[in-house]
Amino acid sequence: MEDLEFLLKFKGCHFIHSEVNVEFLENMDDFEIREDDVFIVSYPKSGTVWAQHLLSLIYCEEYRKRTANVDTVYRVRHLEYSPDPSDLDRSPSPRLFCSHIPYYLAPRGLKKQKAKIIYLYRNPKDVMCSFFHFSKMLSVLKPSANMEEFMELFLEGKVLGSLWFDHIRGWCEHKSHFNIQFIMYENMIKDLRSSTLKVCKFLGKELSKEDMDAVVSQAMFENMKSDPRANYENVLKRRHDLRRTDGHFLRKGTIGDWKNHMTVAQNERFDKIFQKEMKDFPLKFIWDINEE
Ligand code: A3P
């Protein structure tokens, strides 16, 4: 275990030092997985909160109908950042989780394909820009003065979640060990209904047309941004200490914002590294809102 500024390195992966439960990490392999558990796994800033909201809408009728006022964070629990992990054992089925862990830290039951995993991924330039703003806003992460500085940290994996390339490659290359469906953030932006149908099919959930309409509508960026159950503003209210500067979990929610942040030289350097690291990688990426 290595103690870096703001981060804790545990078995090669960086976690938020002040928030993570080390004892839980040490025993995570034994965390009891149930057949009907569902996990969203993602590298940070790939749309995790969006997917949390989507799962809540799919699984919980009261949430969908707005008769229940429980925040998504209590329904879709963050595996490694739960303040009281014993709570997770006591939760009724089906349990919904999100997590940023690398494939090799997954509990044994997940490696035995006991539960379903949705792996959410996003083009890494937009991930990096989103992460740059998030690290400034959140007091438990190290802020960078500019994109140049943050890009160095990101490309060296000296950030929460460690190296993006390792995370996605690891999950993809070991996918046969898991019951896993890959979902792309950009496809959700371009056609949320199709992505939601894909998620539902994988989860074996059949929604009526009316329910599907309600899910898709409430998961749209603008509707979600104004929904205090979903947009994490309640979390920031409860935990004043988490907010360093103005900012929101739901920031721009688009494809290609990296073009407003990266210089030509930075972009070229990024492309070179991307081509080397992701050679022969089977999943495709979308970098521009107008791209098919
Ligand atoms: P931006 O910072 O680029 O806007 P995570 O939840 O993994 O931290 O990812 C955060 C990113 O997902 C943010 O990206 C956020 O705006 C985006 N996001 C959250 N909800 C969204 C939605 N309904 N539609 C589009 N993007 C969304």
pLDDT at residue number 184: 98
Share of the chain above pLDDT 90, in %: 90
Residue nearest to atom 24 of ligand 1 (CA): 221
CATH number of domain containing 179: 3.40.50.300
Query: Per the domain annotation, does 168 fall within a domain?
Result: yes
In angstroms, the CA 204 to CA 250 distance is 29
What are the φ and ψ backbone dihedral angles of 261, each rounded to 5 degrees?
-120, -35
**Ligand 1 neighbours (beta carbon < 6 A):** 42, 44-50, 126, 130, 133, 189, 219, 221, 224, 250-253, 257
Query: Per the domain annotation, does 283 fall within a domain?
Result: no
Express each pLDDT in 68-109 by its tens digit: 888 999 999 999 998 888 899 999 999 999 999 999 999 999
Site to probe by mutation for ligand 1, drawn from 40, 41, 43, 45 as the one with most ligand atoms within 8 Å of Cβ, is 45
Interval 229-239 mean pLDDT? 89
Query: Per the domain annotation, does 288 fall within a domain?
Result: no
Q: In the predicted model, is pLDDT for residue 172 greater than 70? A: yes
Interval 215-231 mean pLDDT? 96
What number does the ligand 1 atom closest to the CA of 43 have? 7
- Quick one: tokens of 276? 């080397």
Site to probe by mutation for ligand 1, drawn from 40, 46, 49 as the one with most ligand atoms within 8 Å of Cβ, is 49
Of 111, 104, 123, which Cα lies nearest the Cα of 285?
Answer: 123
* Ligand 1: centre distance to CA 27 (Å): 31
* Ligand 1: centre distance to CA 183 (Å): 14
Of 251, 250, 256, 260, which Cα lies nearest the Cα of 289?
Answer: 256
In angstroms, the CA 120 to CA 44 distance is 10
Look at 3-17, 22-36, 51-65, 177-191 and tell me which has the smallest mean pLDDT.
3-17
Q: In the predicted model, is pLDDT for residue 1 greater than 90? A: no
What number does the ligand 1 atom closest to the CA of 133 have? 2
Total domain count, the chain: 1
Query: Per the domain annotation, does 233 fall within a domain?
Result: yes
Q: How confident is the model at residue 251 (pLDDT cuts 50, 70, 90)?
A: very high
* Ligand 1: centre distance to CA 189 (Å): 10
Q: How confident is the model at residue 161 (pLDDT cuts 50, 70, 90)?
A: very high
Interval 279-292 mean pLDDT? 95
Residue nearest to atom 17 of ligand 1 (CA): 253
* Ligand 1: centre distance to CA 171 (Å): 21
Query: Per the domain annotation, does 49 fall within a domain?
Result: yes
Query: Per the domain annotation, does 287 fall within a domain?
Result: no
134-169 burial code (b ≥16 CB/10 A, e <16): bbbbbebbbbbeebeebbebbbebbbbbbbbbbbbb
pLDDT at residue number 5: 78
Catalytic residues, which ones? 100
pLDDT at residue number 3: 58
Domain with 72 in it: 2-277
Query: Per the domain annotation, does 286 fall within a domain?
Result: no
Interval 277-286 mean pLDDT? 97
Query: Per the domain annotation, does 183 fall within a domain?
Result: yes
Residue nearest to atom 3 of ligand 1 (CA): 130
Site to probe by mutation for ligand 1, drawn from 52, 99, 249 as the one with most ligand atoms within 8 Å of Cβ, is 249
| H helices present in the chain, as ranges | 22-26, 48-59, 61-64, 72-75, 85-90, 108-111, 124-137, 147-156, 164-173, 185-190, 192-203, 209-219, 221-225, 233-238, 264-277
What number does the ligand 1 atom closest to the CA of 219 have? 23
Residue nearest to atom 14 of ligand 1 (CA): 253
Residue nearest to atom 25 of ligand 1 (CA): 253
Express each pLDDT in 20-63 by its tens digit: 999 999 999 999 999 999 999 999 999 999 999 999 999 999 99
Express each pLDDT in 108-132 by its tens digit: 999 999 999 999 999 999 999 999 9
